[in-house]
Structure 1
Amino acid sequence: MTRAVRARRIPDTAPIGAINITPLIDVMLVLLVVIIIAIPIASHKVPVDLPAGRGTPVPLPPAVLAIDRQGALHWNGAALADAALPERLAALQKSGAVLHLQTDPEARYERFDRILATVKRAGITRLGFVGNRPLED
């Protein structure tokens, strides 16, 4: 004799008490990536030389080195020989004054490049470029 198998009726299932943490892990990983990307940007620093001390010293007037269209040099309006330029730049570097470099737009770029290389070799760090206007003769 065979016995008939009777199916039992399962009562309604109870709600599951566990939380699906997969979305939570996904959100946490995205936040971690965002933080890893944002930290180097937030910690980037630009070094700036700021004056220290109570009183601010009176700044020296800037020295103007001009190159005219023929390539001749002028230091504060007076003609200057190429051989005297390194000596003037060394004195300027010791004093800490600013150098303004003014070049006539018609001057040759090679001449400007050689003068700029001389300025760099002299250790001048405070340099400004003055407008693109022709020099008055």
Structure 2
Amino acid sequence: MGMNVGSSSGDSEPEVMMDINTTPLIDVMLVLLIMLIITIPIQLHAINLDLPTGTPPPQTVQPQIVKIDIDEKNQIFFNAEPVATMQDVDYRLSEIAKLDFASQPELHLRPNKDARYDVVAGVMASVQRYGLTKFGIVGAEQFIE
């Protein structure tokens, strides 16, 4: 709150105060802010899911696994069988992609830690290009030092 004590000129006539008293404006804004905070519903960051209860039945058919290995000489192997070129890798992956999703095998890529990145990335790009989603990189423990 401000108060005008007197004029500096010594006249008996008071000076006109040109400042706006903002205290009531601030009070009203604070009351509106508190009302807004109170009326906003509490946001819960949770999603309600109806999950099944009990134990799932045992899997009757074990998934087929295709192991793709890349050695330190950048040689690619499909189930321990050497593959000569990237075109052969693309051909084998295209054959897997032709199968329906339920019968597609899991692809396990295991690169050697000394293998070149472009060879590993090329295999991964081919897997992605054919839309194969049952894919994983295994053997990551060799990269931990």
In structure 1, what is the Cα distance between the partners aligned to 2:115 and 2:96?
Answer: 24
In structure 2, what is the Cα distance between the partners aligned to 1:33 and 1:113?
Answer: 49
- Cα RMSD (Å): 3.4
In structure 2, what is the Cα distance between the partners aligned to 1:97 and 1:31?
Answer: 56
TM-score (norm 2): 0.55
**Residue 26 of structure 1, CA deviation:** 6.5
Find the residue that maps to 1:74 and give its secondary structure.
strand
Tell me the residue number matched to 1:101: 109
Runs (4+) of structure 1 exceeding 6 A deviation are: 25-28
Q: Deviations over 1:58-107 (max 9, x none)?
A: 13321001111111110011111222212221232323211000000000
Q: Deviations over 1:31-57 (max 9, x none)?
A: 55462xx35x32499xxxxxxxx9955
- In structure 2, relative to structure 1, the CA distance for the partners of 1:73 and 1:42 (3 Å cut) is same
Tell me the residue number matched to 2:69: 66
Tell me the residue number matched to 2:95: 91
Q: Which runs of 5+ in 1 are unaligned?
A: 1-24, 46-53
Q: Which runs of 5+ in 2 are unaligned?
A: 1-31, 50-56
Tell me the residue number matched to 1:30: 37
In structure 2, what is the Cα distance between the partners aligned to 1:43 and 1:31?
Answer: 24
Find the residue that maps to 1:128 and give its secondary structure.
strand
Equivalenced residue count is 102
In structure 1, what is the Cα distance between the partners aligned to 2:114 and 2:73?
Answer: 8
Identity %: 26
In structure 2, what is the Cα distance between the partners aligned to 1:67 and 1:99?
Answer: 13
Answer with 72-81 or 85-94: which moved more. Answer: 85-94
TM-score (norm 1): 0.58
Q: Deviations over 1:111-131 (max 9, x none)?
A: 111111111112111111111
